[in-house]
Amino acid sequence: MTGLIRAVINGHALRANLRLLRQLAPGRRVMAVVKANAYGHGLVPTAVALADADAFAVARIEEATLLRAAGVRTPIVLLEGVFDAAQLAEAAHHDLELVVHDPLQIALLAAARSPHRFVVWLKIDTGMNRLGFRPEQFAHALAQLRQLGPQLRELRLLTHLARADERDAPQTAEQLARFAALTAGQGLVTSIANSAAVLGCPAAHGDWIRPGLALYGVSPIAGESAASLGLQPAMSLRTQVISTRHVPVGETVGYGGTWQARRPTRLAIVAAGYGDGLPRNLRESTPVLIGGEPLPLVGRVSMDMLAVDVTAARSPVQVGGDVLLWGAGLPVETVADCAGTVPYELLCGISQRVPLALEESHFDAG
């Protein structure tokens, strides 16, 4: 792999996280969420690494067709469904499963003349107020879908939890109660649990779990580390030192001169910036691992570079030295907190110019 900055993906960690989630939800099937380029980890290689998943979930049809073109034959669920007859035909061609959350989507199925029989997931809005049929609309939507008869291979039910990342949030219990009341006696397969609910709310496991963030080794629960949950980070965002320099007392660093040297300072200039997807607002003192040692970021992140104060480094820092921006040893959760954001945004925000280093040695049978 040439180039400086790269995202190294560990397939063993992906599979270990999948095994852990299965153990936490015994007997349930796993719909691995790989939308948004597998949270920045690479859509196709992640699906290959997670070949033991029972299904994959994507947001949009373009993601599903990329998987099919790569030879992935595992069931694929379109979490947002389809929105016109052409998309419905394409979904039939690729044998995709559909989430139905709007009357338009029921009408599209009713008007279809294709012999294809879909697996349909009817989505109930139990309190997220984003997608899905509200409780008072559910019975009518369910009846309409059942009237399609042989056009459906199977009808299933799902909902989405708004605050499962907060272990004691009362809204989760309220949502589960609504879902249970609506679905009781229907005899249909269910899916409720996202990553946080898989880890922290066994009552939400249903028949299918839908982990996303946890698959990638990142904690989905507020205030709890991935390590404490038994998760292994799958991505290491790595780069190199491209320059070192001495800064006299009183001089500033970077755009705007926001950081000023209070002592004779040695800096390492690192090949990484907001052009690679790092937040420009990373606060000073954000840890960066150089040679395995945490050292503080100083000054503003620029498009291609950032500066790290290496004055107190225990080992000499030289051009070409290895730099870890997040990964094993420096959780992405820590970096996200320093940017005032969530890990999802960092992982999904990695720029297209950052290559994925899919090192074959990582994709072992473990």
The residues that bridge with 259 in the sheet, in sequence order, are 253
CA angle 27, 202, 336 (to 5 degrees): 110
**Tokens 């009518």, residue?**
140
Alpha-carbon distance of 310 to 295, in angstroms, equals: 6
Residue 16 has pLDDT above 90, yes or no: yes
The residues that bridge with 132 in the sheet, in sequence order, are none
Range of the domain at 204: 11-221
Query: How many other CB atoms are there within 10 angstroms of residue 153's CB atom?
Result: 12
> Would 6 be classed as within a structural domain?
no
Residue 352 is encoded by which pair of tokens? 């297209």
Query: Which residue, of 197, 221, 245, is where some domain finishes?
Result: 221
Query: Which residue, of 221, 256, 288, is where some domain finishes?
Result: 221
- Residues 94 and 174 grouped into a single domain: yes
- Residues 140 and 241 grouped into a single domain: no
| Average pLDDT score over residue span 90-100 | 97
Alpha-carbon distance of 285 to 141, in angstroms, equals: 53
pLDDT at 366: 36
- Residues 176 and 262 grouped into a single domain: no
- Residues 114 and 197 grouped into a single domain: yes
Residue 1 has pLDDT above 80, yes or no: no
pLDDT tens string 50-82: 999 999 999 999 999 999 999 999 999 999 999
- Residues 354 and 317 grouped into a single domain: yes
Cβ within 8 Å of residue 80, ≥6 positions away? 59, 60, 99, 101, 131
- Residues 240 and 212 grouped into a single domain: no
pLDDT band at 365 (very low <50, low <70, confident <90, very high): very low
> Would 230 be classed as within a structural domain?
no
- Residue 8 main-chain phi, psi, to 5 deg: -95, 120
Question: What region, left, alpha or beta, does residue 285 occupy, with left being phi > 0 and alpha being psi -120 to 50 degrees?
Answer: left
Kindly report the CATH number assigned to the domain that includes residue 38: 3.20.20.10
* Cα 104 to Cα 76, 117, 215, distances in angstroms: 21, 18, 33
Q: Give the chain's mean pLDDT.
A: 95
Residue 2 has pLDDT above 50, yes or no: yes
Q: What is the DSSP letter of 330?
A: B
> Would 298 be classed as within a structural domain?
yes
> Would 5 be classed as within a structural domain?
no
Alpha-carbon distance of 127 to 135, in angstroms, equals: 9
Query: Which residue, of 196, 221, 246, is where some domain finishes?
Result: 221
Residue 224, exposed/middle/buried by CB under 10 A (0-12, 13-18, 19+)?
middle
Residue 270 has pLDDT above 50, yes or no: yes
- Residue 141 main-chain phi, psi, to 5 deg: -60, -40
- Residue 363 main-chain phi, psi, to 5 deg: -95, 65
Cβ within 8 Å of residue 240, ≥6 positions away? 4, 5, 270, 271, 319, 320, 321, 322, 323
- Residues 173 and 243 grouped into a single domain: no
> Would 45 be classed as within a structural domain?
yes
> Would 358 be classed as within a structural domain?
yes
> Would 204 be classed as within a structural domain?
yes
pLDDT at 113: 85
Residues tagged active-site: 35, 255
pLDDT tens string 175-217: 999 999 999 999 999 999 999 999 999 999 999 999 999 999 9
Residue 17 has pLDDT above 60, yes or no: yes
The residues that bridge with 57 in the sheet, in sequence order, are 33, 77
- Residues 34 and 76 grouped into a single domain: yes
pLDDT band at 222 (very low <50, low <70, confident <90, very high): confident
pLDDT tens string 238-251: 999 999 999 999 99
pLDDT tens string 292-340: 999 999 999 999 999 999 999 999 999 999 999 999 999 999 999 999 9
> Would 21 be classed as within a structural domain?
yes
**Tokens 């691995």, residue?**
32
Residue 55's closest CA among 177, 265, 207? 207
pLDDT at 122: 98
Q: Side chain identity at 127, as an amino acid letter?
A: G
DSSP string, 78-126: ETT---SHHHHHHHHHTT-EEEE-SHHHHHHHHH------EEEEEEB-S
How many independent structural domains does the chain possess?
2
pLDDT band at 359 (very low <50, low <70, confident <90, very high): low
- Residues 121 and 31 grouped into a single domain: yes
Residue 168's closest CA among 128, 120, 200, 205? 200
Evaluate whether 56 touches 47 at the Cβ level (below 8 Å): yes
- Residues 170 and 73 grouped into a single domain: yes
pLDDT tens string 152-161: 999 999 999 9
Q: How many residues can be counted in the chain? A: 366
pLDDT band at 114 (very low <50, low <70, confident <90, very high): confident
Query: How many other CB atoms are there within 10 angstroms of residue 80's CB atom?
Result: 17
Alpha-carbon distance of 161 to 57, in angstroms, equals: 16
Kindly report the CATH number assigned to the domain that includes residue 317: 2.40.37.10
pLDDT at 180: 97
Residue 364 has pLDDT above 70, yes or no: no
